[in-house]
Structure 1
Amino acid sequence: MASQSVGKLETDVHIKATAEQFHDVFCSRTHHIANVCPEKIQGVDIHEGEWGSQGSIVYWNYVHDGKKCVAKELLELVDTENKKFVFKVLEGDLMEDYKSFRFIVQVFPQEEGSVVHWIMEYEKLKEHSPDPHTLLQLAIDVSKDIDAHLVAQPDAV
């Protein structure tokens, strides 16, 4: 029974921007994401620490499945060399369905562009809680919006 309550979803998003550009925006200039796709991400604020620093607390206002949601997240890991970062959800709408929730993101450089590898690890509060497929789609859509913005205006984010 416990194995059904623990889940993991992952996907790759191919982008034209470099791994450095994407990692920098998502990790160090996270607050700019709301400017890039305001219909999906309404705001990103720092509550503790500094942008892009491990241990900082980030507060997200976003739209998921047509509903305004919030998430308070700990930037648990920042690995600039490997273009990897991990957000652990501390509070917010996701905690209504999940006991724990982590976003693990790593960006791999390619000959042209890069690949953003998203992993969502979660433990459901109840067995019938949904798997976060629509949240994974939101992550894909936001990744593509950031990529389009970086390609159109590489220095503007």
Structure 2
Amino acid sequence: MAYSQLQKVEANVHIKASADQFHNVLCNRTHHIANIFPGKVQSVEIHKGEWGTEGSVISWNYLHEGKVCVAKEMVEGIDMKNNKMTFKVIEGDLLGHYKSFKFLLQVTPKEKGSVVNWVLEYEKQNDNTPDPYTLLELTVEMSKEIGAYLSQDHN
């Protein structure tokens, strides 16, 4: 049997927007991310289910390391009370490098704004597969953009 192991990379992003506001965009208004962060996210579309529901399937077209990539994700879990979400990648470019890939999101309210915590949980196809630090950077960048957008107050 092939050796495989779940690995993680993680980052925290401080934003001025509230945890509820940020979580609401990622949960219920995911398609707006393409408008907020058009430099890297070209489109976010729903394939199955409805925005903001567990089991719904979303596809992302995004730029990563200068290439146009696609990720189809299933919303695996939503915890409104704790502003948490889990996205499981079910199709797309990432699965060319990883056996499994998940994005875990938690937004924690702070006195001023909130902290967005991203955990990328993955299983490499082989030992030559790089850790997804550039993708983590992209999620950090996206979080900062969404945070800046939300704190400019256009609801």
Q: Same fold (TM over 0.5)?
A: yes
Q: Hey, what does 1:140 align to over in structure 2? A: 140
Q: Which amino acid is 2:3 matched to?
A: A
Aligned residues: 154
The gaps in structure 1 that reach 5 residues or longer are: none
Report the alpha carbon displacement of residue 153 of structure 1 after superposing the two structures with TM: 2.5
Q: Report the Cα distance in structure 2 between the residues aligned to 1:149 and 1:111, rounded to whole angstroms.
A: 19
Q: Report the Cα distance in structure 2 between the residues aligned to 1:46 and 1:93, rounded to whole angstroms.
A: 18
- Alpha-carbon deviations, 1:3-58, whole Å to 9, x = none? 6x431001110000000000000111000000001111000000000001000000
The gaps in structure 2 that reach 5 residues or longer are: none
Q: Hey, what does 2:79 align to over in structure 1? A: 79
Q: Hey, what does 2:40 align to over in structure 1? A: 40
Matched, 1:115 2:115: yes
Q: Report the Cα distance in structure 2 between the residues aligned to 1:10 and 1:28, rounded to whole angstroms.
A: 23
Report the alpha carbon displacement of residue 143 of structure 1 after superposing the two structures with TM: 0.2
Report the alpha carbon displacement of residue 2 of structure 1 after superposing the two structures with TM: 3.5
Q: Report the Cα distance in structure 1 between the residues aligned to 2:59 and 2:146, rounded to whole angstroms.
A: 19
Q: Report the Cα distance in structure 2 between the residues aligned to 1:103 and 1:14, rounded to whole angstroms.
A: 18
- Alpha-carbon deviations, 1:99-151, whole Å to 9, x = none? 00000000000011000000000000111101000000000000000011001
Q: Report the Cα distance in structure 2 between the residues aligned to 1:154 and 1:109, rounded to whole angstroms.
A: 20
Q: Report the Cα distance in structure 2 between the residues aligned to 1:96 and 1:103, rounded to whole angstroms.
A: 16
Residue correspondence of structure 1 range 41-60 to structure 2 within 5 A: 41-60=41-60
Give the secondary-structure state (helix, strand or coil) at the position aligned to 1:139.
helix
Identity %: 55
Give the secondary-structure state (helix, strand or coil) at the position aligned to 1:112.
coil
Q: TM-score, normalised by structure 1?
A: 0.95
Q: Which amino acid is 2:35 matched to?
A: N
Q: TM-score, normalised by structure 2?
A: 0.97
Q: Which amino acid is 2:75 matched to?
A: L
